Structure formats: C-alpha cells, structure tokens
Copies of this chain bind each other. A is one copy, B any other.
Amino acid sequence: LSEAAYLALDWGTTHRRTYVMDPAGTVVARERDGRGVLSIPPGGYPHELAALRARFGPLPAIAAGMVGSARGWREVPYVPAPAGAAQLAAALTCIETDDLLIVPGLSLREAGRSDVMRGEEVQVLGAVVAGLAPADALFCQPGTHNKWIELEGGRIVRFTTAMTGEIFALLRDHSLLSEMLGGEVEDGHAFRDGVAAAQEEGGLLAQMFGIRAAVLLESRPRESAAAFTSGLLIGSDVASAGVQGRTIHLLADATLGPLYAVAIQLLGGRVALVDSEAAFAAGIHHIRGLSQ
C-alpha cells in the first residue's frame, strides 16, 4: 500500500480539497470544490468517492475533517488531547468496502470547558512534520469557527474554538445591525478601530450595540460598520488568546488571513504564515505512514 499513489481528502463542512499523492507524499494533482458534507445526501458518500476515482484513478483514499462527524460518512470517535500523529494513526477508522481511511478528530476536556476539532489537527501536525513550524508552537486557523491550537513537542496539548466568523454572519444576516453591515470587510481604519475597541472596558455585548448607536448618531459612516464589526470580533478573539510577545503560526486563506495578521500584530504578537495545503499534505502522509 505504501508504495502506491493515493487520494488524500480534506473534507469539510462546506468545501472539499482532493490531493493526488505519489508514494513519497508529493502532491501530483489537486482540486477544490464545494462538495462539503452539507451538500452530500445521506448515503451519497460512496458515489462521491467513486466519482473522484473515475477522474483520478482507482486509488486507495484517506480523509479528514467533518466527513468523520455525525453529519458525515461515518461518525469516528474523537481522540482525547493531548495527542499527536501516533494517536491519530492508531485510531483511524477503515471503511473496507470503499478502501477509505478516516482520521479521527480531537476532543478536549478541561475543568469547566470542552472543545472539539475535526480536520485542523492534520494541518497543524503536518506543519511541524514539514518543517513549516516548530514542534512547540501556537497556531491560529481562522474560519467560521476560529481555532487556536497549542503544540508542545509536536503534540496538540490544548485548543480553543471561537465562534467569531459565525457571530459576524449572524449579525450581518439576521440581527438589528443587518441593514448597517452591507459594507466591505477589509483592513483599514475602521477594522483597526474595531480591534482597538475590543480591548476597552464594557464587554462585547455592549460594544455590538454601540455599532448601531454610532451609525444612528453619525459618529461612524454606515459603509464602515461591517469592517469595524469584523475588527471588534476578531480583536476580541485575538485578545482572549493572549498573543502578546508570541509568534502565531497562521493557517489562513486570503480573506481572513490578512485580517487576523493585522489584529495579532496590533495586539503585540508576531505572525508566521503557514501554507495550509502543504501542511495538510504533509500531515496526512505522515499519519497514513504511521498506520501501515
């Protein structure tokens, strides 16, 4: 098996990335599409994988992400943190009828708090394997749910998920602020004002209402309210993570990456960008190799 090419899938809630890997772990082809878990009907997964094989060849496959959740192909139990690649490799779920391995997610139980992840673990562990980040590092992986992931000795020891992106979307799409949040979200004065506001006293729930009041009283232009709101939420998220004086290894796309980078730097952190596709490929190849 380890001498053959294979398919590696980063199969999330809304998107799917497919990598054709050669036996040495080099990506020889890649594809990104919108066939995330939410778009696949119950029972539709074998057909989805067969369609990929029709395009890329009859290769064995390994997948990580929400495909292993209750909404996905099969629910794979979480591996409790702290954990590294060896623990994930030992807990792979095999769906033999489809020649597919699914990587488990991680769970965290600490006094008073719980957390879970599915998919991000492969990227951060892979970043270390590929030499893209040190074995002791704090990662930030923005998205609908932003993840802060702490590695020690190449193992994930703790992590925190923040609903930052989802709360922004709720405010924009469904709240009293909706009519004010149609503007562009980009770095600039308004975004940075929002990051600064998040550091002030008063609490996030009050600061959110203050956005509406500032527009009504014309102390903030309506067009800049969305960028300010994004800065407020990302600034709150970054402040809670305690980035001052630390290097944050940022796994992010072209939209959220620059915004998080600015907020981290404004709050006294340093930013090291990590290529998330290279990290995923390295991680999944390493985990697959350990399981053989």
Contacts and interface: CB of A to CB of B under 8 A. Distances in A.
Q: Say how many copies of this protein the assembly contains.
A: 2
Contacts of A78: 217
Interface residues of A, number: 49
A265 interface: no
A209 to B, nearest CB: 4
Interface in A216-260: 216-217, 219-220, 233, 236-237, 239-241
A210 interface: yes
B163 A197 contact: no
A167 B206 CA distance: 11
A236 B205 contact: yes
Interface of A: 78, 107-109, 112-116, 145-146, 160-164, 166-167, 170-171, 173-176, 197, 200-210, 212-214, 216-217, 219-220, 233, 236-237, 239-241
A132 to B, nearest CB: 25
A162 B206 contact: yes
Given A163-B208, A204-B236, A206-B240, A216 B170 contact: no
A143 B269 CA distance: 38
